[in-house]
């Protein structure tokens, strides 16, 4: 047997509350990230990712409290991203109960931070989050973006993924800014292209709309499949996604 | 009365999840670096995340090596988790650096022979026949995160009363868990393995004092 394809629900958290629409009938409080994470855990989510989009220090503290409370009741891996810029940030998140952290803008500003974090806590702790889109003039055709895809970082996305792994990142979270929010499918070409240049686990993100999309991304070489809105709106359940993956011949874990 | 489990705090990683999961499984958990409690508790859990050498160094700083050796010599139960499993072995070769381990299990930790590393995610195991740890969860999924592991040599395979559980990543078959007298250890994270992991922890706690 080999390792199962992971299905990862992602929660955008702002000042301790889940943002973007959440549409579950069986939750007392659909905006409570702890309750939602527990629900995804029960449904068979293989990990849960929290993306902290708080702008303030108080908001970040509140998110840490969310992670702390989630880790007390949900015994599956928790990843936290958003605003992580230093070894100290990672240390604080791990102490609250996070198992992994994802880093994005801070690593673009200062790539060495990847090495600093992974030398201290191991490669497995760090997910390099790459927001990429097609960009003319980039050698690979893909550029790294910041600010939600609106600003070019002026870096080639494939080079950056490769460099991030060389510096110690244990996983790549590839967010397609072209596909994000479209629900027309993951960016399969970009996934396959990044897959060719890195051997660490690759998480596909952006564009999921149907179960078929998850299967296609797994076929394209993704090791894990991350989605937010299709799960929050109840369009798809984790179980339905896993049924489709299993039917297509992929190994999935049944909780 | 719930058995007292000392969770060895030597500065390695996320101890909170292990603490909560052991509590949920019925233990009275003491997060501690105190050698006395480490020796006297009903059970000792050795966690560990990150690099082998760094973990061994942290362990030595709190006298953890002799605590583990003393416990094992006296037949006191120890459970190693992830790098806490690895450092129970004789040595580790990580990033080309050779480090001595605690040595209560025979073998060397080396790099997994797989293209996709870390081996990250949920995998199944070949549970040892008659295993206590895996009773009721022989066919379950467990959460692994590691690039290094133990490839069972003759000394480990022939350990008297030893039971070895294996897992395979790509084509590489490595030791996923050991049960050898007072020593139990898992390469995966039971505290992150949902219901199956909780059952495994309960199975271990049931063997204590």
Q: How far apart are CA B48 and CA B152, in angstroms?
A: 20
pLDDT at residue A154, as a whole number: 97
* CATH of span B4-206: 3.40.50.880
Domain ranges of chain A: 7-247
Instruction: Name the pLDDT band for A108 (thresholds 50, 70, 90).
Output: very high
Topology of the domain comprising A7-247: TIM Barrel (3.20.20)
pLDDT tens, residue by residue, B66-81: 999 999 999 999 999 9
pLDDT of residue B22 exceeding 80: yes
Contacts with B119 from chain A: Cβ below 8 Å: 3
What is the DSSP track for chain A?
--PPPEEEEEEEEETTEE-S----TT-S-TT-HHHHHHHHHHHT-S-EEEEE---SHHHHHHHHHHHHHHHHH--S-EEEESS--SHHHHHHHHHHT-SEEEE-HHHHH-THHHHHHHHHH-GGGEEEEEEEEE-TT-TTSEEEEETTTTEEEEEEHHHHHHHHHHHT-SEEEEEETTTTTT-S---HHHHHHHHHH--S-EEEES---SHHHHHHHHHTT-SEEEESHHHHTTSS-HHHHHHHHHHTT------
- CB burial of residue B36 (10 Å; 0-12, 13-18, 19+): exposed
What DSSP designation does B126 have?
B
pLDDT at residue A28, as a whole number: 67
pLDDT at residue A120, as a whole number: 86
pLDDT at residue A236, as a whole number: 95
pLDDT at residue A232, as a whole number: 87
B146 touches chain A (CB under 8 A): yes
Q: What are phi and psi of A82, to 5 degrees?
A: 105, 110
pLDDT at residue A25, as a whole number: 61
pLDDT of residue B24 exceeding 80: yes
B195 touches chain A (CB under 8 A): yes
pLDDT at residue A22, as a whole number: 64
The pTM assigned to this predicted structure is 0.95
Instruction: Name the pLDDT band for A57 (thresholds 50, 70, 90).
Output: confident
The ipTM is: 0.93
Q: Are A68 and A97 in contact (CB under 8 A)?
A: yes
Query: Sign of the C-alpha dihedral, residues A117, A118, A122, A124?
Result: positive
What's the angle, vertex CA B191, arms to CA A63 and CA B10, rounded to 5?
80
Q: How far apart are CA A112 and CA A155, in angstroms?
A: 16
Please state the rounded mean pLDDT for residues A104-118.
96
pLDDT tens, residue by residue, B113-151: 999 999 999 999 999 999 999 999 999 999 999 999 999
Q: How far apart are CA A97 and CA B189, in angstroms?
A: 14
Q: How far apart are CA B130 and CA B138, in angstroms?
A: 10
Q: How far apart are CA A89 and CA B38, in angstroms?
A: 30
pLDDT at residue A27, as a whole number: 66
Q: Which residues of B are known to be catalytic?
A: 82, 189, 191
pLDDT tens, residue by residue, A198-214: 999 999 999 999 999 99
pLDDT tens, residue by residue, A212-231: 999 999 999 999 999 998 99
Contact A200 B123 (CB under 8 A): no
Which range has the worst mean pLDDT, A71-75, A244-248, B101-105, B162-166? A71-75
What DSSP designation does B127 have?
P
A194 touches chain B (CB under 8 A): no
pLDDT tens, residue by residue, B178-208: 999 999 999 999 999 999 999 999 999 999 9
Contact B117 A200 (CB under 8 A): yes
Smallest CA–CA distance from A96 into chain B, residue: B16
Domain ranges of chain B: 4-206
């Amino acid at each position: 047997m080999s390792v199962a394809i992971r299905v990862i629900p992602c929660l955008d958290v702002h000042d301790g509350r889940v943002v973007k629409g959440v549409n579950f009938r069986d939750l007392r409080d659909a905006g409570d990230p702890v309750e939602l994470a527990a629900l995804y855990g029960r449904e068979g989510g293989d990990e849960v990712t929290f993306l902290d989009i708080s702008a303030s220090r108080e908001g970040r503290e509140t998110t840490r409290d969310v992670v702390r409370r989630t880790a007390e009741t949900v015994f599956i891996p928790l990843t936290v991203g958003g605003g992580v810029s230093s070894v100290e940030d990672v240390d604080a998140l791990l102490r609250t109960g996070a198992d992994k952290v994802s880093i994005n803008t801070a690593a673009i500003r200062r790539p060495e931070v990847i090495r600093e974090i992974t030398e201290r806590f191991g490669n497995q702790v760090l997910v390099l989050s790459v927001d990429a889109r097609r960009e003319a003039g980039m050698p690979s055709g893909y550029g790294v973006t910041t600010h939600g895809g609106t600003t070019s970082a002026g870096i080639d996305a494939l080079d950056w993924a490769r460099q991030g792994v060389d510096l110690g990142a244990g996983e790549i979270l590839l967010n397609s800014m072209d596909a994000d929010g479209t629900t027309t499918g993951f960016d399969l070409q970009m996934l396959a292209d990044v897959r060719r240049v890195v051997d660490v686990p690759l998480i596909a993100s952006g564009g999921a709309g149907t179960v078929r999309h998850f299967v296609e991304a797994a076929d394209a070489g993704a090791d894990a499949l991350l989605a937010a809105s299709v799960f929050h709106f109840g369009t798809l359940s984790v179980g339905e996604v896993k049924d489709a993956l299993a039917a297509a011949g992929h190994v999935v874990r049944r909780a | 009365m719930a058995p007292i489990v000392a969770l060895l705090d030597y500065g390695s990683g996320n101890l909170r999840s292990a603490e909560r999961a052991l509590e949920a499984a019925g233990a009275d958990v003491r997060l501690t670096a105190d050698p006395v409690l480490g020796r006297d508790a009903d059970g000792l859990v050795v966690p560990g995340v990150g690099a082998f050498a760094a973990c061994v160094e942290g362990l030595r700083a709190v006298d953890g090596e002799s605590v583990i050796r003393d416990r094992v010599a006296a037949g006191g139960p120890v459970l190693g988790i992830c790098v806490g499993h690895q450092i129970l072995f004789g040595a580790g070769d990580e990033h080309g650096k050779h480090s001595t381990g605690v040595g209560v299990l025979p073998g060397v930790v080396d790099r997994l022979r797989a293209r996709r590393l870390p081996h990250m995610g949920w995998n199944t195991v070949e549970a040892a026949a008659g295993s206590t740890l895996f009773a009721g969860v022989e066919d379950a999924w467990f959460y692994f995160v590691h690039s290094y592991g133990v490839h069972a040599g003759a000394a480990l395979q022939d350990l008297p009363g030893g039971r070895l559980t294996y897992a395979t990543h790509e084509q590489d078959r490595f030791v996923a868990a050991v049960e050898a007298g007072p020593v139990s250890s898992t390469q995966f994270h039971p505290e992150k393995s949902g219901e199956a992991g909780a059952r495994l922890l309960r199975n271990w706690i049931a063997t204590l004092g």
